[in-house]
Amino acid sequence: MSRKRWLALIAVAMLLVVSLVVNAATSMIFSNTSSLMDSMRHHDWTEQILETGEEFGGQIVVLEVNGVIQDVGDGGLFAPTGYRHQMFLSQIEQAGKDPNVEGIILRVNTPGGGVVESAEIHEKIVEAQTTYDKPIYVSMGSMAASGGYYIAAPADKIVASPQTITGSIGVIMESINVTELAENYGVKVNTIKSGPFKDIMSATREMTEEDRAILQSLIDESYDEFVRVIAEGRNMTESEVRTIGDGRIYSGNQALELDLIDELGTLDDTIAMMRDHVGNFDVIKYEPHVGFPGFLSLSLKQWFGNNTGELATLERILATHRSPSLKYIYTD
């Protein structure tokens, strides 16, 4: 590795330490001044007007699901600058409770993500619809697959581009096995466990038929829930969902033919449809605050310039939970 890259990595490490110190100090300050901060900034986002309407007294809110649906936390230097799960849940809840909000549009651009996180979003969407009587439309971007479709299923209307990649209805769990590689290099792993399945999906032993049966039961259970959500949201039978829900992806045109979406169109078209339904109100977007950690992360990317590989690798290692887990996700 070149001297320049060594210096860059050392700088990243130093900034990580600084970030941890700043976060700790900030937490202490905020714990003593929470009431003051609440009065200054009630949410972690600001409201930006996208389009001005002709009617007063109401709003249409656009919320974005952009990136992999996973909860990796919001703190630290390597906090995600894309999708932030807890903040998004708060945004849906706020838009649902706000009496000024007449309708909610979800702009979905994701390959999916965690089973638990997708279910949490689904619950918030249904709550906004049933408890607060808010219509919810979905505008699909370039991709709204697997968990992206899971969260779209209960929407009152789903709109996609003809070229949108959607579908991928199913559940996946993956791991790697390095047993032969370890043997070739003389690496031996000593495992002490309380039961025969405690190291299930270990990378250092072969999967047994009993292991596979246990994991398949988890996959089947999550898949059954996926099918139920689509059947209820799209007014289809479970048999119909299972026929088209074999994991394959569909284009927007194909999804329309299969009744997985309602209309073809853009975000602007979706906004027009919502205005026809609730009124020609202002369209606003909840825009996250960047914050100090996000600012440092963005600055680092600029500082690395074209040599972003090391930083991207560090971000993935530090920000992503690496253990095998159940996922509604499309992987190409």
Q: Which residues are catalytic?
A: 146, 198
Q: Are the beta carbons of 128 and 92 closer than 8 angstroms? A: yes
User: Which phi and psi (to 5°) does residue 200 adopt?
Assistant: -60, 140
Q: How far is CA 131 from CA 98, 104, 230, in A?
A: 12, 14, 20
Do residues 104 and 151 lie in contact, with contact meaning Cβ atoms separated by under 8 Å? no
Contact 113, 69 (CB under 8 A): yes
Strand partners, 63: 106
CA separation, residue 115 to residues 81, 92, 215, 236, 320 (Å): 21, 18, 14, 22, 15
Contact yes or no for 195/178 (Cβ under 8 A): no
Q: Name the CA radius of gyration of the chain, rounded.
A: 23
Q: Of the candidates 183, 84, 78, 96, which has an alpha carbon nearest to the alpha carbon of residue 132?
A: 96
Q: CA-to-CA distance for 225 and 218, rounded, in angstroms?
A: 11
Q: What's the CA gap between 208 and 220, in Å, rounded?
A: 18
DSSP 38-80: HHH-SSSEEEEEEE--SS-S-EEEEEEEES-B----S-STT--
CA distance 134 to 281: 14
250 vs 258: CA distance, rounded Å: 9
Cα separation, 87 vs 267, in Å, equals 22
